Amino acid sequence: MTINNSPALSDLEVWRKKPFRFIAAPFTPMFPDGSVHAEKIPAYHELLVANRIAGAFINGSTGEGVSMTLEEKKLVTRAWANASKKNQDLKIINLVGGNSLHECIELAQYSRQQGIDAISVLPPFYFKPVNVKQLARFVAEIGSAVPELPVYYYHIPVLTDVGFSMIDFLPEIEKLLPNFVGIKYTHEDFMDYLSCIHFADGKYDMLWGRDENLLPALSLGAKGTVGSTYNYAAPLYHMLYDAFIKNDLHKARQAQQQAINMIRLLGKYEGISTGKAFMKLIGVDCGTFRLPVKNMNPEDFECFKKDAEAVGFFDFCSALSHKVA
């Protein structure tokens, strides 16, 4: 991203004005011993571009950022930044937030040095902020250390247990952080979400974060979405969006139901780690998740493949541009 003193003039602002953006939350590839396999990231980058994905939200929940060391997150950041130099159409948003304010600032500054397009900040989830003013102070402290970078807040109360209404947060952060640009909204409060879309005449980029509820979010005016299933089922969501903008709600609802059927397999097979099993089905072996997440055993994986086929996964899964080793 072009560095300047006005985030509103950045190329990310142009990107934000596109009709709609699908942003994948990539898995972090791991070796069998659980170490980061960063050499797979360039091919992963090509996979997303080939499937018309507009951005990558790295080091997030799907990417196991909270389970990695600061140096490992820097390794992942560097690998995605280097891959994006060859194709800058895929914007990179790096999750730098966590419990350590100083580590958040260090990773934010490293993101700027590597040419990352934007950062995102989680709330501290051990010593939690007591109100939205304290939350805004925390986010602003990190964002002000990189005034050239656009900053998103990551709202995912199901994991952080920080559940303030974002319509109360926006007025506070607006006063403190000029380079604040929006929220990754991973929650089901549609009333709050719509109010945030309308806040300050639509000033902020409200990225929807629930793949299983994308259609209702579109009806409220969502212009972008971040999700893990866009890694391996992008064609299904493109079909959903195309049907929605053509006002073919029957087809859009059918596509959303197909997505729900697929996502239910995550609950059936060990939760978030099932995403890496889906990736394996399309030819991208990202290894396993770290403890305490449970991974599939080989017997369950064989059953999972049959269930994936039964929900039609191979009819709408993402396609590789080439074989990924």
Catalogue the E-assigned strands of 13-121. 21-24, 55-58, 91-95, 118-121
Strand residue runs (E) in 51-144: 55-58, 91-95, 118-121
In this prediction, residue 97 carries a pLDDT of 81
- Helix count and strand count (H, E) for the chain: 14, 8
Instruction: Please name which of 268, 274, 278 lies closest in space to residue 318, comparing C-alpha atoms.
Output: 278
Provide the whole-model pTM: 0.93
How far apart CA 226 and CA 238 sit, in angstroms, is 13
Q: Which among 156, 137, 220 has a CA at the least distance from the CA of 25?
A: 156
**Does residue 184 have an active-site annotation?**
yes
- pLDDT range class, residue 86, cuts 50, 70, 90: confident
**180 in helix, strand or coil?**
strand
Q: Which of 184, 230, 237, 241 is catalytic?
A: 184
In the block, residue with structure tokens 């709050």: 192
Question: Three-state SS for 22?
Answer: strand
Catalytic option among 152, 153, 154, 185: 154
> For residue 317, what is the DSSP state?
-
The answer to whether 228 touches 211, Cβ cutoff 8 Å, is yes
Q: What is the pLDDT of residue 321?
A: 63
Give Cα 86 to chain centroid, integer Å.
21
Residue corresponding to tokens 């997030």: 60
For residue range 22-80, what is the model confidence (pLDDT) as tens digits?
999 999 999 999 999 999 999 999 999 999 999 999 999 999 999 999 999 999 999 99
